[in-house]
Amino acid sequence: MVVMRQSDLESFLAVARHGSFRAAARERGMTGSALSQTVRALEEELHVRLFNRTTRSVVPTEAGHLLVSRLTPALADIRACLEEVRSMGGTPSGQVRMNAPAPALDWLIAPHLPGFLETYPGISVEIIEDARNVDIVAEGYDLGIRLGLEMAQDMIALPLGPEQDYAVVASPAFLDGAGRPEVPEDLAGFDCIRHRFPSGTIFPWQFHKEGEDIAMVPSGRLTVNNARHAVAAAVAGIGLARVALPYAQDALVRGQLVRVLTDFSPRLPAWHLYYPSRRHMPPALRAFIDFFTQAARQSPDQM
């Protein structure tokens, strides 16, 4: 009969998740040699190699992939069950790990985070800003936030705020010099401030014209990876930018920016908080979900 400690199995999953013994050791609070010995002992116990190791990478074998796929949900259930029992003696406790893009964090999470941490002193929160479409289960997250059409079908999703409004903006001085685009096709003749996703792709600008959806990749001399930088560049007169409306709102009110192509800007799906279905939901995760969905309902105009 194979008897293994939960901590050893968690260490194995950390190595698989990071693809690195060094990174996994930092997460687990262990030395690299101790973690390597733990995995080696697990392989000896199971009589099978779990990782193919080279000087540059650590990749799960077929057996390793199988173990990851079975252990990930099983250990999540065990952790949730333990946290549920532990919380029966008081307020919810534990850790919540979340993955979300910057706009959702800036406008839906950050404003309410101090209140959450004050309400639940036993819960710690780890937030990773990330615009990729990640597998939150495989990468060790409890939940994520994405636009309504960007989630895996096997996830439970809850709307977090209203539909999104993205605005094309430019400074008055830029428009005085370059002219004003009247229809989306006019953008081909304008310097646009582009936004590159972590995946390497350029953020396409979406419009709705005469019943049809239009998506185009803008051209321009400046490319950034942060909406605030795009707004600052637009205020400086570098070009047109397309950002979530809240990022540009203050500059619009002050007259530093002007919105264009408003009639062609479609409303995009609302942000959704999503998480995998579990037999046992950790009390800390339940508290987090309830708190932030309620906060979103009470602040309908924040996005």
How many CB atoms sit inside 10 A of residue 139's CB?
Answer: 16
Other C-beta atoms closer than 10 Å to the C-beta of 152 total 14
Cβ atoms 123, 77 nearer than 8 A = no
- Higher model confidence: residue 54 or residue 289? 289
> For residue range 114-123, what is the model confidence (pLDDT) as tens digits?
999 999 999 9
Residue found by looking up tokens 């009470």 in the block: 298
Residue 176 burial class via C-beta count within 10 angstroms: exposed 0-12, middle 13-18, buried 19 and up: exposed
Phi–psi pair at 18, nearest 5 degrees? -90, -20
Which pTM does this prediction carry? 0.65
* 221-273 tens-digit pLDDT: 999 999 999 999 999 999 999 999 999 999 999 999 999 999 998 888 889 99
Nearest to 143 by CA among 291, 8, 269, 11: 291
Cβ count within 10 A of residue 253? 9
Q: Which residues of 255-283 are buried (b: 16+ CB within 10 A; e: fewer)?
A: ebbbebbeebbeeeebbbbbbbebeebbb
pLDDT of 205 reads 95
Task: Tell me how far the alpha carbon of residue 15 is from its chain's centroid.
Answer: 21
pLDDT, position 32: 86
105 pLDDT higher than 60:
yes
Q: Where are the beta strands (DSSP E) in 102-231?
A: 123-129, 143-147, 155-159, 164-170, 192-195, 205-209, 212-216, 222-224
For the stretch 136-152, pLDDT in tens is 887 888 999 998 766 66
Least confident piece of the model among 21-25, 60-64, 78-82, 208-212: 78-82
Sign (positive/negative) of CA torsion 220, 223, 227, 229?
negative
